[in-house]
Amino acid sequence: MHDVRELIEQGPDAVARLARRGHTLSLADVTAAHRRRTALREGADRLRAELKRLSRSGPAGGGGRSAREAGRLLREQVQLAEAQVRVVEQELTGVLQAVPNLPLDAVPDGHTEKDAVEIRRGGPDPVAADPARHHAAVGEALGILDGARSAKLSGARFSVARGAGARLQRALSAFFLDLHTQQHGYTEYAVPYLVTRETMTGTGQLPKFEEDLFSTRVGDRELFLIPTAEVPLINLVAREVLEAGQLPLALTACTPCFRAEAGSYGRDTRGILRLHQFEKVELVRVCAPEDAGRELLSMVTQAEECLRLLGLSYRVMLLPAGDLGFSARMTYDLEVWLPGSDAFREISSVSDCGTFQSRRAGIRVKGPKGSRFHPVTLNGSALPVGRTVAALLEQGRQPDGSVKLPEVLIPYAGFARIEPGERIS
C-alpha cells in the first residue's frame, strides 16, 4: 500500500507510472479524501483537547450542573467526531488498497508476455519441439501421472502422482530446500496453510484478488488457503519493529499452494501446468531499501541455479509494466523450455515489491538514532514442484520412452531413470 502523502507529492508522475500498468489513478479523489481525513482528525483533536481542559477544571471550576451537562455534550461530540474519522479512514484505506505498486523506471513498457525483454538463456540447447514429449502423455505412459483418478477425486485442475512420480516430487522439494538452506543462506520454516484475512491483506492478495482464493469458514472464523508461501513468510514479521542488524532476512518454505485460477478457464487444461493445488518452494527476503537491486539479482541467480543443476533449458525475461503482479515494482520471470508445447513457459517469478507490502503489513525497521523505516520485501519461486516435474519429463524423455533424471536428483530420488510401467533403475 502507498503512503498517501507520498502519492500526492509525486502527483502526475505517480499517475503516469500507474498508467504504464494500465491503472487509472484519480489523484483529485485521493487528495480530497486525504484532506477530508486531515480536517476530521484536526476537529476531533480540538474537541478532545477541550474535553481534557474541561475535565481538569473539575468542581473547582464551578458551574455545577451546567458544567456537567457541557462535559456530557462534549464527550458525545468527541465520539461522533472519532466515528467520522474512522469512516473516512476506512474509505481512504479502501482506495489505497486498490492501487497497485509503481513500476520502476527500468521496467519496459507493454502489457503482455510478448512485450517482455529477454535477458539471457541458460542450460543446454533446447531439444526439438515434439508433441509426443508433452508431459501429460509421458507421465501417463510411464504410469506416474493419473489424470483420470484426480478428476474423479476433485474435478478439473488437480493431479495425482503415483510411485516414482510421487517420489520425484518429494525429491525435488528436498533438493530445492537443501540448496537454498545450505548454500544460499535461507532459514527454512514450516508455516500454516490457512491464514486470516489480515494476513492476506498484508501481502496484497486482498481485497483485490478475493475471487482467486479458496476460503473456509467454521462458525464465525474465516480463513484462507494460501496461494503461495510468500503470504505467511512475509507476515511472520507483520506489525513488528526489526533491528537494522537483522537485515536481510532470508526465509524459505515448501508448501502446497491453492489458487482458484478464476480468470484462466480454458487455458492449460492438459497436464499439470495450471492446477488449483500444487507444491512450491518459495524464497522471501526482507532488506534495506538501498540493497533491493542487488538482492533481486541475487534471488534471480539462486532460482537459475536450480534450473542449471537440473540441466534444464531456460531463459530469463524482464516483465513489462502492464504484466507485473499487483504488489511488484519489478519482476524477472524464468521460463523453462517445454518441447511438448513448443514453447517457453514460466517456472519462476522473482519480484521486488519495494516497501509496498511492508507498509500494508506494518513491518518497520529501527534505524540509526531511533529513526524507523519500512524495509523492502522480495519474493521468488525456486521452484514449483509440478512445473519442474513437467520440464524434467519433457526434456529428459529418451527415445525408448524412459525419462532420465539429472545426476543431482539421484541421491534424493533413489533412482536414475523411470521406465514405462513405472519401473525405476
Average pLDDT over residues 138-150: 93
Q: What average pLDDT does the structure give for the chain?
A: 93
Domain boundary (67, 97, 127) is at 97
Q: Is the pLDDT of residue 236 over 60?
A: yes
Indicate the DSSP class of residue 161.
B
The answer to whether residue 108 sits within a structural domain is no
- CA torsion 30-33-35-36 (nearest 10°) is 170
- Burial class, 245, CB count within 10 angstroms (exposed 0-12 / middle 13-18 / buried 19+): exposed
Whether residues 209 and 333 fall in one domain: yes
Number of domains in the chain: 2
What pLDDT does 263 receive?
Answer: 60
Whether residues 81 and 9 fall in one domain: yes
Whether residues 156 and 80 fall in one domain: no
Average pLDDT over residues 85-109: 93
What pLDDT does 67 receive?
Answer: 72
Segment 359-385, tens digit of pLDDT: 999 999 998 888 999 999 999 999 999
DSSP code per residue over 193-231: SEE-HHHHHHTT-TTTTGGGS-EEEETTEEEEE-SSTHH
| End-to-end Cα spacing for the chain | 52
- 48 vs 43: CA distance, rounded Å: 9
What pLDDT does 421 receive?
Answer: 82
Q: Which amino acid is at 288?
A: A
The answer to whether residue 102 sits within a structural domain is no
Asked if residues 159 and 275 have their Cβ atoms less than 8 Å apart, the reply is: yes
Asked if residues 340 and 145 have their Cβ atoms less than 8 Å apart, the reply is: no
Whether residues 51 and 186 fall in one domain: no
The answer to whether residue 106 sits within a structural domain is no
Sheet of strand 194-195, all strands in order from the earlier edge strand to the far edge: 194-195, 221-225, 215-218
Sheet of strand 364-366, all strands in order from the earlier edge strand to the far edge: 241-243, 364-366, 372-373
Which residue in 88, 75, 113 sits closest to 29, CA to CA? 88
Whether residues 81 and 127 fall in one domain: no
Average pLDDT over residues 305-316: 98
Whether residues 87 and 127 fall in one domain: no
Average pLDDT over residues 6-12: 93
Q: Is the pLDDT of residue 89 over 50?
A: yes
The answer to whether residue 103 sits within a structural domain is no
Whether residues 271 and 188 fall in one domain: yes
Segment 240-255, tens digit of pLDDT: 999 999 999 999 999 9
Whether residues 39 and 82 fall in one domain: yes
Segment 18-62, tens digit of pLDDT: 999 999 999 998 999 899 999 999 999 999 898 888 887 765 445
Domain boundary (46, 64, 97) is at 97
The answer to whether residue 160 sits within a structural domain is yes
Average pLDDT over residues 290-308: 98
Domain boundary (45, 72, 97) is at 97
Structural domain span for residue 290: 113-424
Whether residues 280 and 225 fall in one domain: yes
The answer to whether residue 21 sits within a structural domain is yes
What pLDDT does 58 receive?
Answer: 62
CATH number of the domain encompassing residue 32? 1.10.287.40
Whether residues 337 and 370 fall in one domain: yes
The answer to whether residue 336 sits within a structural domain is yes
Whether residues 238 and 281 fall in one domain: yes
Q: Which amino acid is at 237?
A: V
CATH number of the domain encompassing residue 307? 3.30.930.10
Indicate the DSSP class of residue 131.
G
The answer to whether residue 107 sits within a structural domain is no
Lowest-pLDDT choice from 85-94, 329-338, 346-355, 405-414: 85-94
Whether residues 70 and 120 fall in one domain: no
Which residue in 165, 114, 129 sits closest to 424, CA to CA? 165
pTM as predicted: 0.91
Grid cell locating 285: 527476503
